[in-house]
Amino acid sequence: MAFSKSFPKTTDKSVYPKWIEVFLTDEEEQEQEEVSRKENIKLMKECVDDAKKIFQEKKLKDYQTDVIRLAVALFEKRASHSVFWKESKAKEKFDKEHAPKK
What is the block-wise mean pLDDT of the chain (102 residues), using blocks of 10 residues?
87 88 92 87 89 85 81 78 82 87 66
User: What's the Cα-to-Cα distance from 89 to each of 27, 38, 74, rounded to whole Å?
Assistant: 12, 16, 26
pLDDT given at position 25: 92
3-state secondary structure 19-69: EEEEECCHHHHHHHHHHHHHHHHHHHHHHHHHHHHHHHHCCCCCCHHHHHH
**How high is the pLDDT of residue 1?**
64
pLDDT at residue 12, rounded to an integer: 83
- Paired with 14 in beta bridges are 11
